[in-house]
Structure 1
Amino acid sequence: MRTSSFFKPALIASSILAAISHTAVAEDIDDNIEHLTIFGSAQAVNDVPGSAHMITEEELNKFDFTDIMRTLTSVPGVYVLEEDGYGLRPNIGMRGTGQNRSEKVTVMEDNVLAAPAPYASPSAYYFPTSGRMQQVEVLKGTSSAMYGPRTTGGVINMLSRQIPDEALAGQFNVTTGEDGYAKLHAYAGGSGEQVSSVFEVFRYQADGFKDINHSDRDTGFVKNDILAKVRFNSDRSAAYYQELEFKVKYSDEDSDETYMGLTDSDFDADPYARYSASQLDNMDTTHKQVQINHLIKINGRFNVMTTAYYNDFSRNWYKTSKVNGMSLGSGGIEAAAAFDKNSQGDSLSVDVKANSRDYISKGLQTVLDIELDDHQLKFGARYHEDEMDRFQWVDSYTLSQNYQMTLDDDGAGVPGSDSNRIDSAEALALFVHDEYTLGDFIINAGLRYEDITLERHDWGKSDSARSLTPAHKKNTVDVWLPSLAVTYKVNDELVLLGGIQKGFAPPAPGNEDAEDEESINYELGLRYNNDKLHGEALVFFSDYDNMHGNCTASQGCDDDSIGNQYNAGEVEVKGLEVKGGYEFQLANLLVPVDLTYTFTETEFLNNFDSNLDTWGSVTKGDELPYVPENQLQFSAGLVGDNWRGDILVRYMDEMRTQAGSGNIADDQEIDSRTVVDLAAHYNLTANQELTLKVDNLFDKEYAATRTHGSLMAGKPRTMSLGYKYSF
């Protein structure tokens, strides 16, 4: 495991703290924050005409999760699919959309698209480091149309560290735990009269909870994330108040992750084992971002927020693709399993593919807010470009009887000889949204327009130098997406709400015959809030005219199918979302409780064939894979004067891993499970805190997913202890 220089970021932080100290305290101005969020304030969430949830910094600190998927289970209508146990590459879906690489939801950081190539290649092999986020917002339903391109499921917006209002403020947080887990999180910054800044460093790592058969190699990761912001603002008395903020971010990851799961029998024997054929599997990534925000306020009624952004992401997932000439889903995993049990003096041929890809995402967006007496108008525009450059190769190894892998004499592959293409997109998006207050009614009407050009330039596997004219495919898409929602205020505590919108997702590049993914989505419900009790219940119905399935390696697609897109035709998804919480007093203790529940039914309405291992050959009436019918989460806490403890109980129903109906076959099932997490905080002083956290308190052994037909285990019981100092 790479354990060297764990505390090196602390030295970097210390060297910069002196440069960001300020002597003057600035007046509170929250407009810059509000323009980077969906809601702006907790009160605004109550007025949203649809499912809307804000996970505040206080809520995030309860369990101190670094895995966004554990965080999001508190939001109804959200489905997560574990893979590595640490949330390095989250699989998130909403309201029945697929979870694979979060490709069916819109993911943003500070109101900017966060996927490496959200139009050309939406599968999010990069995801912002959730452990450094200050706030997480989830929006589903009618209002999500402002935040395309994918508007059927919903939107996740993560708010990064904001510049403190104080002259100087910051925090130092260090955590250590089982399986070599360690985390360092530090930030410092402050606000002056006209110049403000913040610097943040976040590093976490683990040796991993799996053991590779016949090997002492680790299965963990190291991830670094560094963020800096500088903001300049005009004088408070200026006729047109302005702010200009520069944000730069760098992150990298080195993780020993694989797609090779276990056979059912091996999983039953030891769910935390890994086959020796996967010993070289490794993901290496680098992400760089520049974001520039400009805000101008005009006479109290007009605000204009303009953002320019540039994201550069590179990754190479070097992972086993074939064993003895067989792909993982067609006998390769079984061959690896048999070899580890008894090599019998033989050797094994192992192909390791370098899935090398470079991504660029850049754009310019602006939003004009106009506040009139009864109308709140938003006009928005975004011009966006992105691309994915695939330049892949395969290396051939021999796994010997002593379980060591040796590169064959002619085994080194030529870069570009396996996949060699560029997928790109250009998109112009325009929207208008009007929130009209009419007595106790609030009417929200919106219209979004997307004009998208998608292209693929493919040099094939024999032109690594890209010296010849590539095969070229191009398709264009333009679509109008209306939405309408109404809320009715019954009284100060109860609101009724309902809405309808057109959902959309663009086709993939290179699929000239692919149709848009389009749906009509309905929701109806109520929201209740008073000082101690809050609750929300919504029914939803998504009526797909056409649903997409995107072929990726994680979907079990073979080399020639990766990048293809399948049209499922008509699909129906319907369900119920419930969220409620209550705070009551027990002696001198505060007892907060919270409940989240989701019920979902899905159905394909067509017969069709696909190469996705999660769909396969679909018959009308089949259910979608990886969508549990029932999800339930309950949390309860005890809060004292200088301490608090919280317990979280999470239940997930059984899931089918391939489309089907009726009873689920054993080899296509993920069993139901209940997992319990525990966290306790104790304040040593007003600015010092100790945290004890236990994930999977009762050490539940469970299968999280079937990748290539093999089982992957969820994270076992993991204890950690942290110390936090604030100033």
Structure 2
Amino acid sequence: MQFNKKALALAIIAFSQPAFAEKADDMEHLTIFGTEQVINDIPGSAHRISQEEIEKFDFSDIMRTLTSVPGVYILEEDGYGLRPNIGMRGTGQNRSEKVTIMEDNVLAAPAPYAAPSAYYFPTSGRMQQIEVLKGTSSAMYGPRTTGGVVNLLSRQIPEQAFAGELKLAAGQDGFAKLHGYVGGEGKNVASVFEVYRYQADGFKDVNHSDTDTGFVKNDVMAKVRINSDSSAKYYQELEMKLKYSDEDSDETYMGITAADFDSDPYSRYSASQLDNMNTEHKQLQLNHFIQLSPRLTLGSSAYYNDFARNWYKVSKIGGKSLGSGGIELAAQFDENPTVEPLSVDIKANNREYLSKGIQTVLEADLNEHQVKFGARYHEDEMDRFQWVDKYQLDSAYNMTLSSAGAPGTDSNRIDSAEAFALFVHDEYTVGDFIVNAGLRYEDMTIERHDWGKNDVGRDGIPSHKKNDVDVLLPSLAVTYKLSEELVLLGGVQKGFAPPAPGNEDSDNEESINYELGARYTLGAFNGEAIAFYSDYENMHGNCTASQGCEDDNIGNQYNAGEVEVSGLEIKAGYQFTLEQFTLPVDLTYTFTETEFLNDFSSKLDTWGDVVKGDELPYVPENQIQLTVGIEGEKWRSDILVRYMGEMRTEAGQGNIATDDLIDSRTVVDLAARYSIDQQQEVSLTVDNLLDEEYVSSKTHGSIMVGKPQSITLGYSFSF
């Protein structure tokens, strides 16, 4: 397109100043569903994880929280959820790159267009609510619209004049957590301040070393809101949100061999003793709301996210990459050290990210038609300035620096994006039918400027690659109220993901996605079943270190061509009421089938050389979760049983080879709470109650292990 996208976007947003609801708790622009909207009225798959549900098990790991939603796949890595891998409907989970992640309705990935792999993820433990949309329900949100949307809602300002809460927890492996907030609202000014800190020493032990394998993570947030008098002609609110977080974690990409998993599953090789991730995230978000009339509201948000991280981790051992023999060399050296030191290359994966933009949504109540008009202008970038330090690991298992790398001599480039999006969505009610029709337009420019390894000062002219992409994404969904209890639904939408910055010849990822299902509610029972089918014209595979990829290929993107993904999502719940107790029961089930429809070759460890008929890796055919609770007047206890079927780690078909197999597993979690009085509560949680030892993933040809049994005691005081 030839026009100035930024100027047009700002003009549209300036014309349609923001609008939301009449009270802070009803800030519709921060939620996808709206505070009063009934899930039954939403087209397609939609789930709201309430504050009460979040607090049952009080997970700090977003992946354990999201397993209650059908059609969601998770891939554990560090055991604490520090770097979540989330997929939906067969999209693949690697760094949640195929899912649109938002906090308070604003894009949350460090660079969602230029570098979507989310090495930053909002701290889920401080969230009050989580919204998950898939299929036609997610059509309004981009840039990735095939899988779905996860929108995390942060702490809202308390309605009381003064209120707060303090939570403390301590558990095994040095786990500790402090979570507190305080705030309140007056007539025209309101605020809240929140602190969340959690840490652990880690459940793994580095061989021949006292090095911890844990983490410390801090998250601080403040909100201040100014609002007009409720009697004002045009009620308005202006809210400022400030957030800061940091992390220091001794995490690695080095797994262990199958033999070592059998003998000592929670060990780590001594070559990984210096591996460390250090991050810092800063955010500013301004939200403005105005009630233009009883039927017309508008809401706008301006946002700025600055994220920096350096993951200092082993890349080669004895001159070999981790996936090409390096892991085996590390294992052998720990077992039988030689007199001659073992060379270890540690790469400083140093990157800075910037994401900023402004967005607005105008909502109009036109009786039978509920219409939304939206616009967003967005810019983001990732600046890679990396180097490699060389060490010697001696027979006493000490690491000595032999050669310090110069910053910028490993990777020295900037990937950037500029994007403008428009959407219109109409919800039309006629009798017992609700028709949802939407159209989203995205125009984006994605670029890469690469100075190479010899121009660390960036004085010369960089190589330049550029992708200009524009796309129209229609969606249509229908719900039909067959009776007061039964609602039928169906829809179709076009899915999309843009090409990577460095691949000028790469096609868009495009698909047509279908779903058909029903929701049923009667008394204490609620349930839904939705069948889905995604027909990819082209699927992307992105080469990242996290899934296993040689250094020279990291950042490359591969086209898989035609792919089919289909499945069934079921969720049901019932609350039994006895004389003195209530027994809530909740069941979630996901069935998935995947298939590549053509032959091709790639340098992704997880794809490799694909033959028509191969299944996608890391997509289990069956997932089941059952939660059963018992609740008395002052106490409750819940048990969660989570089953994940076997899955392959590399594309293939038929019986899965042992080296490519992750066995099925069943993990049980337990939570119990007792209210001392109206203000105080004590809790006990046990993750992995039966202490199941299991393989969570296989990266670089080695095994990453799931978290063992972990017992935590907690106390909370609210006022």
Would you call these one fold, judging by a TM-score over 0.5?
A: yes
Question: Superposed, which structure 2 residues align to 1:411-560 within 5 Å?
Answer: 411-560=403-552
Superposed CA RMSD:
0.9
| Aligned counterparts of 2:605 and 2:98: Cα–Cα separation in 1 | 18
Answer yes or no: is the 8 Å Cα contact 1:146–1:431 preserved in 2: yes
Q: Read off the aligned partner of 1:296 and give its amino acid letter.
A: I
Question: Gapped runs of 5+ residues in structure 1?
Answer: 1-26
Q: Read off the aligned partner of 2:342 and give its amino acid letter.
A: L
Answer yes or no: is the 8 Å Cα contact 1:174–1:723 preserved in 2: yes
Q: 2:559 aligns with which of 536, 554, 567?
A: 567
Q: Read off the aligned partner of 2:627 and give its amino acid letter.
A: S
State the partner residue of 2:61: 67
State the partner residue of 1:4: none
| Aligned counterparts of 2:713 and 2:666: Cα–Cα separation in 1 | 24
Q: 1:179 aligns with which of 160, 173, 178?
A: 173
Question: Superposed, which structure 2 residues align to 1:93-172 within 5 Å?
Answer: 93-172=87-166
Answer yes or no: is the 8 Å Cα contact 1:249–1:290 preserved in 2: yes
Q: Read off the aligned partner of 1:127 and give its amino acid letter.
A: F
SS for the counterpart of 1:352 is strand
Matched, 1:44 2:38: yes
Answer yes or no: is the 8 Å Cα contact 2:24–2:157 preserved in 1: no
Q: Read off the aligned partner of 1:125 and give its amino acid letter.
A: Y
Cα offset for 1:475? Answer: 1.1
State the partner residue of 2:17: none
Answer yes or no: is the 8 Å Cα contact 1:483–1:499 preserved in 2: yes
SS for the counterpart of 2:219 is strand
Q: Read off the aligned partner of 1:85 and give its amino acid letter.
A: G
Tell me the alpha carbon deviations over residues 27-70 of structure 1, each in whole angstroms, 9 at most, x when there is no partner.
Answer: 98256432201112364222111100000000000000000000
SS for the counterpart of 1:146 is coil
Tell me the alpha carbon deviations over residues 496-539 of structure 1, each in whole angstroms, 9 at most, x when there is no partner.
Answer: 00000000000000100000000000000000123311001000
Answer yes or no: is the 8 Å Cα contact 1:358–1:388 preserved in 2: yes
State the partner residue of 1:597: 589
Q: 1:200 aligns with which of 181, 194, 197?
A: 194
Answer yes or no: is the 8 Å Cα contact 1:539–1:576 preserved in 2: yes
Q: Read off the aligned partner of 2:138 and give its amino acid letter.
A: S
Matched, 1:690 2:682: yes
Matched, 1:628 2:591: no
Answer yes or no: is the 8 Å Cα contact 2:624–2:642 preserved in 1: yes
Tell me the alpha carbon deviations over residues 368-413 of structure 1, each in whole angstroms, 9 at most, x when there is no partner.
Answer: 00011100000000000000000000000000000010001xx100
Tell me the alpha carbon deviations over residues 452-476 of structure 1, each in whole angstroms, 9 at most, x when there is no partner.
Answer: 1010000000001111110011110
Matched, 1:580 2:572: yes
| Aligned counterparts of 1:547 and 1:381: Cα–Cα separation in 2 | 27
Tell me the alpha carbon deviations over residues 682-713 of structure 1, each in whole angstroms, 9 at most, x when there is no partner.
Answer: 00111100010000000000000001010000
Answer yes or no: is the 8 Å Cα contact 1:42–1:54 preserved in 2: no
Q: Read off the aligned partner of 1:677 and give its amino acid letter.
A: D
SS for the counterpart of 2:553 is coil
Cα offset for 1:175? Answer: 0.2
Tell me the alpha carbon deviations over residues 637-689 of structure 1, each in whole angstroms, 9 at most, x when there is no partner.
Answer: 00000000000000000010000000000000100000000000000111100
SS for the counterpart of 1:96 is coil
Cα offset for 1:423? Answer: 0.2
| Aligned counterparts of 1:204 and 1:635: Cα–Cα separation in 2 | 26
State the partner residue of 1:242: 236
Q: 1:29 aligns with which of 23, 40, 43?
A: 23
SS for the counterpart of 1:179 is helix
Tell me the alpha carbon deviations over residues 331-390 of structure 1, each in whole angstroms, 9 at most, x when there is no partner.
Answer: 000000000001032310000000000000000000000011100000000000000000
Q: Read off the aligned partner of 2:459 and give its amino acid letter.
A: S
Answer yes or no: is the 8 Å Cα contact 2:493–2:514 preserved in 1: yes
Answer yes or no: is the 8 Å Cα contact 2:254–2:327 preserved in 1: yes
The answer to which of 679-688 and 342-351 deviates more is: 342-351
Cα offset for 1:557? Answer: 1.3
| Aligned counterparts of 1:294 and 1:377: Cα–Cα separation in 2 | 20
Q: 1:608 aligns with which of 590, 596, 600?
A: 600
Cα offset for 1:555? Answer: 2.2
Number of aligned residue pairs = 699
Q: Percent identity at matched positions? A: 73
Answer yes or no: is the 8 Å Cα contact 1:143–1:483 preserved in 2: no
Q: Read off the aligned partner of 1:273 and give its amino acid letter.
A: S
Answer yes or no: is the 8 Å Cα contact 1:33–1:162 preserved in 2: no
Question: Superposed, which structure 2 residues align to 1:373-412 within 5 Å?
Answer: 373-408=367-402, 411-412=403-404
Question: Cα gap change, 1:129/1:71 in structure 2, threshold over 3 Å: closer, same or farther?
Answer: same
Question: Cα gap change, 1:553/1:161 in structure 2, threshold over 3 Å: closer, same or farther?
Answer: same
Question: Gapped runs of 5+ residues in structure 2?
Answer: 1-20
SS for the counterpart of 1:244 is strand
| Aligned counterparts of 2:484 and 2:240: Cα–Cα separation in 1 | 41
SS for the counterpart of 1:35 is helix
State the partner residue of 1:217: 211
State the partner residue of 1:705: 697
State the partner residue of 2:10: none
| Aligned counterparts of 1:36 and 1:327: Cα–Cα separation in 2 | 44
Tell me the alpha carbon deviations over residues 2-25 of structure 1, each in whole angstroms, 9 at most, x when there is no partner.
Answer: xxxxxxxxxxxxxxxxxxxxxxxx
Matched, 1:724 2:711: no
| Aligned counterparts of 2:146 and 2:473: Cα–Cα separation in 1 | 11
State the partner residue of 2:3: none
| Aligned counterparts of 2:482 and 2:43: Cα–Cα separation in 1 | 14
State the partner residue of 1:337: 331
| Aligned counterparts of 2:35 and 2:565: Cα–Cα separation in 1 | 31
Q: Read off the aligned partner of 1:718 and give its amino acid letter.
A: S
Answer yes or no: is the 8 Å Cα contact 2:135–2:147 preserved in 1: yes
| Aligned counterparts of 2:641 and 2:536: Cα–Cα separation in 1 | 33
Cα offset for 1:299? Answer: 1.4
SS for the counterpart of 2:113 is coil
Tell me the alpha carbon deviations over residues 594-650 of structure 1, each in whole angstroms, 9 at most, x when there is no partner.
Answer: 000000000000100001000000000000000000000000000000000000000
Tell me the alpha carbon deviations over residues 270-308 of structure 1, each in whole angstroms, 9 at most, x when there is no partner.
Answer: 110000000000000000000000000011111110100
| Aligned counterparts of 2:547 and 2:455: Cα–Cα separation in 1 | 27
Answer yes or no: is the 8 Å Cα contact 2:22–2:291 preserved in 1: no
| Aligned counterparts of 2:36 and 2:372: Cα–Cα separation in 1 | 20
Q: TM-score, normalised by structure 1?
A: 0.96
Q: Read off the aligned partner of 1:342 and give its amino acid letter.
A: N
Answer yes or no: is the 8 Å Cα contact 1:691–1:722 preserved in 2: yes
| Aligned counterparts of 2:353 and 2:303: Cα–Cα separation in 1 | 14
SS for the counterpart of 1:250 is strand
Tell me the alpha carbon deviations over residues 415-461 of structure 1, each in whole angstroms, 9 at most, x when there is no partner.
Answer: 00000000000000000000000000000000000001010000000
Matched, 1:233 2:231: no
State the partner residue of 1:679: 671
Question: Cα gap change, 1:42/1:369 in structure 2, threshold over 3 Å: closer, same or farther?
Answer: closer
State the partner residue of 1:12: none
Q: Read off the aligned partner of 1:521 and give its amino acid letter.
A: N
State the 4+ residue runs in structure 1 displaced beyond 6 angstroms.
Answer: none
| Aligned counterparts of 2:292 and 2:708: Cα–Cα separation in 1 | 55
Question: Cα gap change, 1:42/1:210 in structure 2, threshold over 3 Å: closer, same or farther?
Answer: farther
